Amino acid sequence: MKAPNFKYARAANVDEACALLERHGDDARILAGGQSLMPTLNMRLSSPSLLIDINRIEAMRGIAVDGDMIRVGALVRHVELAESVIVRRHLPLLSDAITHVAHPAVRNRGTFGGSIALADPAAELPACAVALGASFVLASRRGPRVVAAEQFFRGLYETDRRPDEILTEARIPAQKSGTRYGFAELARRQGDFAIVGLACIEAEALRLVFFGCEDRPRLAREAARANGIPAIQAALAADLKPMSNLQGSAATKLHLARVLAGRVVGSLKVVGA
Amino acid sequence: MNETVAISLSVNGQRVERTVKVRQHLVDFLRSELGLTGAHLGCEHGVCGACTVRVDGQIVRGCLMLAVQADGATVETIEGVTETREIADLQQEFVGRNAAQCGFCTPGMLLTAAELLQRGKPMNRDAIREFIGGNFCRCTGYQAIVDAIEAVLNRRLATKAQS
């Protein structure tokens, strides 16, 4: 189908975007890569009165090293993440995960910030952000604030972002040399949304973050305290309350989460190796 | 904040200036305003890949980009890429191997394969299948398409290695 009528504004900078959001709030939608928003418009699942196109805001681009933090602009496209030397060296978890995100034509447009702000429960990047201990910068006319990824995802497509705020940047601690990580997901077809997926970091503690299970990325706290793969798999019953959906029942998803935990924890890669 | 906007862009090497409705996506603009009917509309929500066009050198889903967003951009469609003969070898190989049946997916499939060829890296059949995974073909079963892309990729890589 065709998108319903809406008005369109191209924001030249973050201040302009914030001013428009202050005025229009929830009646407006931010148009970044458009790879999820445009389908919902074309299918008429959503009918905002205004689209705020942020694609030309230069300040929201780029990947940079800032001490032991990596700053990823919200408008960084998936293809840029995939090709980034900085990401390959300092955030190899993201380099591995991004190959599972959709297909080349979608990766050429889709943005990091868009994936985070949409908070699809089966998406890869929100889970990676939680595993990596990222935080997000939200700008508004009231000034910027920073929210940790663990607090940001609140439910099904629900985040801590307020209607007048725009996600401008992620700040992600670099993975330290010698620490370990792993990523895997099960999907019917390469590039599809995950049935179940797992992003894992092992620095001081084991951080297992499952996606495609619950309404948001889920950090498995009990499993982190368990010793050895069988104990980790057993502990997942206490950590995960999977939602049944077309991709599988809750019991199937718990089973698949255990399978993934075994595969990923059993074959963690070393940063810098 | 308008419902129509004047845009100026390059389409297949030619400067185009039009006033568009902001809700019109790029492929509707190319097809109905410019008569470039090579890019097709299958699902119109970003799944099938029939609408693939090139914007600023990269393939995109033409149904997921608004025409107004292409203001200032360089757009190439299968018509333009055919004219420049950039993938004449690939098109010949598609014909030779019967890699098209109804032809609905073919323009998108060719443009996606063109991006694969542009990268100029060796790829096995699994990697080729993964690369074209966002383009659906409901006739061929993909076998002949993968054959054609693989043959052209290997031929181009061999030519490059010799020179």
Q: Maximum Cα–Cα distance for chain B, whole Å?
A: 56
- Which among A17, A34, A53 is the end of a domain? A53
The reply to whether A75 and A165 lie within a common domain is yes
In a domain, A235, yes or no: yes
In a domain, A2, yes or no: no
Using the Cβ of A227 and the Cβ atoms of chain B, whether some distance falls under 8 Å is answered with no
Number of inter-chain CB pairs under 8 A, A vs B: 94
If you average pLDDT over residues A168-190, what whole number do you get?
96
In a domain, A46, yes or no: yes
For the segment A53-72, what is each residue's pLDDT rounded down to a tens digit? 999 999 999 999 999 999 99
The reply to whether A223 and A250 lie within a common domain is yes
Helix %, strand %, coil % of chain B (to 5): 45, 20, 35
The reply to whether A257 and A205 lie within a common domain is yes
The reply to whether A125 and A63 lie within a common domain is yes
Q: What is the bridge-based pairing of β-strands A196-202 and B4-11?
A: unpaired
- What domains can you pick out in chain B, each with its CATH number? 4-81 (3.10.20.30), 85-162 (1.10.150.120)
Distance CA B100, CA B142 (A): 9
For the segment B8-32, what is each residue's pLDDT rounded down to a tens digit? 999 999 999 999 999 999 999 999 9
Domain interval for residue A160: 58-173
Compute the nearest-CA separation of A103 from chain B (Å): 5
Q: What interface predicted TM-score (ipTM) does this complex get? A: 0.96
Tokens of A80: 């840029």
In a domain, A80, yes or no: yes
Phi first, then psi: give them for residue B91, nearest 5 degrees: -65, -40
The reply to whether A22 and A68 lie within a common domain is no
In a domain, A1, yes or no: no
Which CATH number covers residue A29?
A: 3.30.43.10
For the segment B54-106, what is each residue's pLDDT rounded down to a tens digit? 999 999 999 999 999 999 999 999 999 999 999 999 999 999 999 999 999 99
In a domain, A194, yes or no: yes
Question: Based on the structure, what is the number of domains in chain A?
Answer: 3
Please answer yes or no on whether B133 and A191 come within 8 Å at the CB atom.
yes
Please answer yes or no on whether B59 and A105 come within 8 Å at the CB atom.
yes
In a domain, A75, yes or no: yes
**pLDDT score at A1:** 86
Using the Cβ of A178 and the Cβ atoms of chain B, whether some distance falls under 8 Å is answered with no
Distance CA A228, CA A224 (A): 10
Percent pLDDT > 90 in chain B is: 98
If you average pLDDT over residues A18-36, what whole number do you get?
97
Using the Cβ of A50 and the Cβ atoms of chain B, whether some distance falls under 8 Å is answered with yes
Distance CA A230, CA A228 (A): 6
